[in-house]
Structure 1
Amino acid sequence: MTRLLTEADGSPVAVENPDALSPVLLVCEHASRRLPEKMGSLGLSPEALVSHIAWDPGALAVSQLLVKNLDAVLIHQRFSRLIYDCNRPPQAEAAMPPVSEIFEIPGNSAISPAERLARTEALYVPFSSTISGFIAARKVHDRPPVLVTMHTFTPVYHGKKRDVEIGILHDEDSRLADAMLTAAGKSLRYAVRRNEPYGPADGVTHTLIEHGLKNGLLNVMIEIRNDLVSDEIGQRVMADYLTGILGESLVALSQ
């Protein structure tokens, strides 16, 4: 099997602030729009390769600000979800989608089983293993993490404007989501809603299930409308807001 990543590509996963004191573990599956050297452009235009189909614009920047605000750990993927969407299991077509929104992805149109395996082993396995290893190490020291996955979404989807600004998503365990929605409801600063613009039925809670539910951890997925975090000012305002409601929620849950 051909090795997908070259030495120049480097590691598929990055870990920031691993010795953090906070229990918060931030995970950003769609942090980068970078493609591995061997993959070329997947047949996509430059426009498509900088669009939301390739990554979650602003998600990494906000996550890195939360690292500082909360003294949290951050684990993020260093390559585009066009190659492998690390918030999807290997058997899901959406892990390596042939079509995303309005874009056909020629390089994903006829992936052989061998190539699917190569992508899975190069990107998903080390990413998932890094998260699992971190959680296991913290649990050994009786310091179970709080899993928070970070995403952004487009203001317009298939021609329809989205008025939700922040989505607080959960699967079967809604403890942290409930607390955050309560905290967010104390002001009208943003339109914050439960399981919008996506929810479990859309297949977006894989990381929460695999690493949160299966380990009995408090967990939540945060979706931010990306026009709110398109520049540094917006990113800082959003990070400060999320720091507030997340911190308040963790205090409430500890009582």
Structure 2
Amino acid sequence: MRESDSHAQGDAVEVVNREGTSPVLLLCEHASNTIPARYDGLGLRDEDRLSHAAWDPGARAVALHMSQVLDAPLVASTVSRLVYDCNRPPEAASAMPEKSELVEVPGNKGLTAAQRQERTDSVYAPFCGAVTKVIKARKDAGLQTVLVTMHSFTPVYYGERRAVEIGILHDADSRLADAMLAAAPALPHRRVERNEPYGPADGVTHSLKIHGLAHGLANVMIEIRNDLVTTPQEEEAMAEEMLTLLRPALTALTAEGGPDA
């Protein structure tokens, strides 16, 4: 398996293990805190550029381990979510936020329509195009596909501590989420909850809708509290825990007629 076999659509996206044969297609929209030089750091303070506002710490590492174990393709953004959040539509203010929680983003204030379009064209469109290309190739090859998007979240948000450790999120199609939640007793040491710490009403299921629902694929969004994935050892252990939920869920979907039935 090749670690990363494509930057063909520019530096905004990487595709890992493109030809993986697992039914799982992994996405990681907030994999990186990289800000291309043309955006002059967005005027961020160094600590803000390293914070959860700029990316989802640990998410790519967990997704990459899952990709390797499952033989699953992974599509990941290589640009900070503060330049463009690939889990938001272009018309959403949160796609290029002027403020993220307590973090001010000077470089996003007063963007012109042309500046917003440039980011949409150079970051969002390549990511979406890469996902669509992988889905089409898998369909043409006769491979079943379920969509799994990997994220992490901060343990403290607006000063409030979050008790949930693992969030299993869904939109209109809850098949995969239901099956994963049914497997949650296998992780008795974890607090696993449905549509927490965010849900559809928060606008976080954009990728599930345009890449999952629109293609008729069972889909789920996994949120991991980022204080649980601070070292390579924790990242690998968490990936194995996610597989503990995902593997029986895939079996259950297959028994019901297939993950993209």
TM-score range relative to shorter protein: over 0.9
Deviations 1:114-145 (A, max 9, x none): 00000000000010011011111211222231
Deviations 1:59-106 (A, max 9, x none): 001011101111111000011011000000001010000010001111
Deviations 1:127-176 (A, max 9, x none): 00110111112112222311000000000000000000000000000000
Moved more, 182-191 or 105-114: 182-191
Partner of 1:102: 102
Q: How does 1:1-255 map to 2 (within 5 A)?
A: 11-255=11-255
| Partner secondary structure for residue 117 of structure 2 | helix
Q: 1 CA distance for matches of 2:19 and 2:182?
A: 30
Q: 1 CA distance for matches of 2:39 and 2:235?
A: 31
Which sections of structure 2, spanning at least 5 residues, go unmatched? 1-9, 256-261
Moved more, 183-192 or 65-74: 183-192
Partner of 1:5: none
Partner of 1:3: none
Deviations 1:187-218 (A, max 9, x none): 41210000000000000000000010011101
The verdict on how the C-alpha distance between 1:49 and 1:187 changes in structure 2, with shifts beyond 3 A counting, is closer
Moved more, 162-171 or 67-76: 67-76
Q: Is the 8 A contact 2:171 2:209 kept in 1?
A: yes
Q: 1 CA distance for matches of 2:111 and 2:191?
A: 40
Displacement of 1:40 in angstroms is 1.2
| Partner secondary structure for residue 240 of structure 2 | helix
Q: Is the 8 A contact 1:98 1:109 kept in 2?
A: yes
Q: 2 CA distance for matches of 1:108 and 1:11?
A: 20
Displacement of 1:185 in angstroms is 2.6
Q: TM-score, normalised by structure 1?
A: 0.95
Q: TM-score, normalised by structure 2?
A: 0.93
Displacement of 1:21 in angstroms is 1.4
Displacement of 1:19 in angstroms is 1.1
Paired amino acid for 1:154: T
Q: Is the 8 A contact 2:187 2:241 kept in 1?
A: no
| Partner secondary structure for residue 223 of structure 1 | strand
Paired amino acid for 2:144: P
- Cα RMSD, aligned residues only: 0.9
Moved over 4 A (4+): none
| Partner secondary structure for residue 221 of structure 2 | strand
Paired-residue identity, %: 54
Q: 2 CA distance for matches of 1:217 and 1:192?
A: 23
Q: 2 CA distance for matches of 1:47 and 1:253?
A: 43
Q: 1 CA distance for matches of 2:11 and 2:159?
A: 37
Q: Is the 8 A contact 1:87 1:204 kept in 2?
A: yes
Q: Is the 8 A contact 1:28 1:150 kept in 2?
A: yes
Q: Is the 8 A contact 2:208 2:221 kept in 1?
A: yes
Which sections of structure 1, spanning at least 5 residues, go unmatched? 1-9
Q: Is the 8 A contact 1:96 1:108 kept in 2?
A: yes
